[in-house]
Structure 1
């Protein structure tokens, strides 16, 4: 006990930063939620999402300021740690600025929605400036094999690392508390390594990140009251990526690059598995799917808290292996890597990843996935040509028939309805859809409401736990069509919102026909990503 007290006393500045960030996150997170509500950054439940109620995003704002405000205060606090950090303030400013750019990019994505290409147009130049002018990997050391100088490959490898880690943390932000919990494990382990190696810069930043994410997790763990959003996941990914490069490029720890890879092992592994899966099945690399590790844990019957805790445990295994790499004992390093390989193999086998690599499965599923994806592209192309509501409604009927849904209800704001058009369309599949002859207890309704409240789509489908992966892919494509339809209707709104005389009469005679469109809570119990 006395030794622990002495340790805390000797490192009181570090713990002050940690506690300050923790308290600030607890205070700022509700404020970020209110701001998100006012700005309209609300994540609505729909076909692809695992939450069942409208939830504010942009929680990353609270995490960002909770992380950096205590460090800014430290700059004006004259003490021994501040003196040792004198040469590191430039690095701290770089990491804060890079994270700030990603936070602003994420805010724009949460508010307006950005494609992967648009986000890369910001991330890649930023990664290039960082790698070419600030710091980059210079060598790779693997225990038992040797060290290799990267030379000219150092800059492109660093760019790939920064962009990859930034987006990897965003990809794993799929269930309540996952991304923030992963960041806590990574940052805390990084802080231990930094204290061991005497790296004050990394220790301060990582302990502050641990505190800010821990305070945010109080609101973000299942059932989440607020999400990180891209505001938080992109900024956390960029901060972890740039901090690791600055540390590794100046580190005297053997196998330092391997330490960085192991620390971020879970998001790296999940991203590589997603890329492998999409390559095998012929899908675009940036397409959304339901095959991430957290999806498969949910499909195994785990609820959100258990799935998150299981992944925290896996991250802990990666972190223990990273700590073993800091030791100078080659036998311990080898055993740690061997044990980690066994844990990863067992985890992948449990979620059924290896079955996806079987030739029979690939042959059977690849054609079906390609057909589903290209059908989605076809309907999107047709949607871009639709110039009235009747054509949009007809496309929904065609899509539901192709994808095998049994029923569809589409409602529009009556302000947009003109002439002989109708604001509500109810359709039933005359063929045997996927929910045909299924008892009501085994089916569920899914609803999607556009952010501006002018479009609502509802359809009947087989419950998520009873679906196969192809059925979930069909629902993914319906999400795609619904989002595109909302955008297309928004483009047409100046034309649609000018009612003719006939539609004006129709509105007076039928004031209750869709006059109020409410946001339903999704009843899906499912395995979809946010």
Structure 2
């Protein structure tokens, strides 16, 4: 499976990082957590686990990464005013929510060939730019190693001439691992005394998977369904159902996702107020929700 290949490439590369002292203990924790979530994903791919066992595993892995991988969201930044908002005793549960949310946002985006891999490669590459600019060599090399693994996978997962069908697939093992990795790196880049970007910037970098998953869940809840009920309400399905091929839908989403991430970084490096960037993201989400509403119907979400 493609997910196993991406993880193994990341494991081998990160294990040999040419940085003083080798990989940090936090990266070692990510490698361990990654192995666990890949194994769980393979089991889920073969024998459907169900929602509750799946969430139980994801929560346990998130707690592992939080406690031993320095992935604790203790500060949300100044997103509602001049002073930063600290989480206090809510830091651990909120961090679990964020990591599990990232895992499932990426997992839910894996609806057409190449989509989850492409959006993750874009998000991780933008994160690598942040790490390089902040002189965090270990994180930068790990991020670029993961991007390289994804690109190698996409060669066999995307549809292009003469390859008419994907030869390998990401599977739950791959999509959940990539979601964990994206969530982990966005947390470590936005937290601590030496944070490199504001927490709100992470929302822009997570981009389309965050917007799309949140919108789909709201629509399902309003309809009286489970927020995890599969349907054709995701952006890639809406584009395909309205005449685009899967390849063109992928291109549209990848460009949109890149624009969101770049906009977030431009806002950060141009020192736009965090509360303004937060308001803009909320406004964008509301526009996205309203703009896609007319393409959803009661039967397909």
Aligned to 2:81: 145
2:149 is aligned with 1:207: no
Partner of 1:286: 228
Given the alignment of the two structures, is residue 265 of structure 1 paired with residue 207 of structure 2, yes or no? yes
The 8 Å contact of residues 187 and 207 in structure 1, kept in 2 or not, is answered as yes
Q: 1:218 to 1:143 in 2, by over 3 A?
A: same
Match of 1:101 among 36, 39, 57: 36
SS of residue paired to 2:224: coil
Deviates more, 1:311-320 or 1:140-149: 140-149
Picking from 66, 71, 81, the partner of 2:14 is 71
Say if 2:2 and 2:170, in contact at 8 Å, map to a contact too: yes
Q: What is the CA–CA distance in structure 2 between the aligned matches of 1:183 and 1:244, rounded to whole Å? A: 12
CA RMSD of aligned residues (A): 2.7
**Matches of 1:133 and 1:336, distance apart in 2:** 29
Per the TM alignment, residue 129 of structure 1 is displaced from its structure 2 partner at its CA by 3.3
Task: Find 1:240's aligned residue among 173, 182, 187.
Answer: 182
For the residues of structure 1 that align with 2:80 and 2:196, how far apart are their CA atoms? 11
Equivalent residues of 2:66, 2:95 under 8 A apart? yes
**Conserved 8 A contact 1:68-1:208:** no
2:79–2:278: 8 Å Cα contact kept in structure 1? no
Look up the SS of the partner of 2:210 in the other structure: helix
Structure 1 residues 114, 143: CA separation in 2 closer, same or farther (over 3 Å shift)?
Answer: closer
Contact 2:4 2:174 in 1 (8 A): yes
Task: Describe how 1:258-337 pairs up with structure 2 within 5 A.
Answer: 258-330=200-272
Q: Is the 8 A contact 2:37 2:177 kept in 1?
A: yes
Q: Could you give the per-residue CA deviations for residues 22-48 of structure 1, whole angstroms, max 9, x where no partner exists?
A: xxxxxxxxxxxxxxxxxxxxxxxxxxx
Asked if 2 retains the 8 angstrom alpha-carbon contact of 1:141 and 1:254, the reply is: no
- How far did 1:317 drift? 1.6
Task: Verify: 1:179 aligned to 2:119, yes or no.
Answer: no
Relative to structure 1, is the Cα distance of residues 141 and 189 closer, same or farther in structure 2, using a 3 angstrom cutoff?
same
Partners of 2:198 and 2:274 within 8 A in 1 = no
Q: Distance in 2 between matches of 1:110 and 1:237?
A: 16
**Shift in CA distance, 240/255, structure 1 to aligned 2, threshold 3 Å:** closer
In structure 2, how many angstroms separate the alpha carbons of the residues matched to 1:287 and 1:329?
Answer: 40
How far does residue 281 in structure 1 lie from its aligned partner after superposition? 0.4
188, 211, 215: which one pairs with 2:125?
A: 188
**TM-score with structure 2 length normalisation?**
0.88
1:126-171 alpha-carbon deviations (Å, 9 max, x no partner) = 2223334543111111467231111111111100011111111110
Larger Rg: 1
Q: How many correspondences in the alignment?
A: 294
Give the Å deviation of 1:286.
2.1
Distance 1:226 1:337, change over 3 A: farther
Question: Contact (CA 8 Å) 1:143, 1:255: kept in 2 or not?
Answer: no
Larger strand percent: 1
Consecutive unaligned residues of structure 1, counting only runs of 5 or more, are: 1-57, 366-469, 474-530
Aligned residue for 2:16, secondary structure, equals: helix
Q: Distance between the aligned counterparts of 1:343 and 1:249, measured in 2?
A: 24
Deviations 1:495-526 (A, max 9, x none): xxxxxxxxxxxxxxxxxxxxxxxxxxxxxxxx
Query: Matched residues in 1 for 2:92 and 2:275: separation?
Result: 28
- CA shift, 1:267, in A, is 1.2
* Post-superposition offset of 1:245: 2.1
Asked if the contact 1:194–1:202 (Cα under 8 Å) also holds between the matched residues in 2, the reply is yes
CA distance in 2, matches of 1:151, 1:91: 22
Instruction: Using the TM superposition, give the Cα deviation of residue 333 of structure 1 relative to its aligned residue in structure 2, in angstroms.
Output: 9.5
Match of 1:62? Answer: 5
Structure 1 contact 143–330 (Cα < 8 Å) conserved: no
Task: State the shift of 1:260 in Å.
Answer: 1.8
C-alpha distance in 1 between matches for 2:202 and 2:54: 24
> Match of 1:162?
99
The SS at the match of 2:225 is coil
Give the secondary-structure state (helix, strand or coil) at the position aligned to 2:25: helix
Alignment partners' CA distance in 2, 1:257 and 1:332: 9
Aligned-partner Cα distance in 2 for 1:123–1:282: 25
User: Aligned partners of 1:94, 1:133: CA distance in 2, in Å?
Assistant: 6
SS at match of 2:76: strand
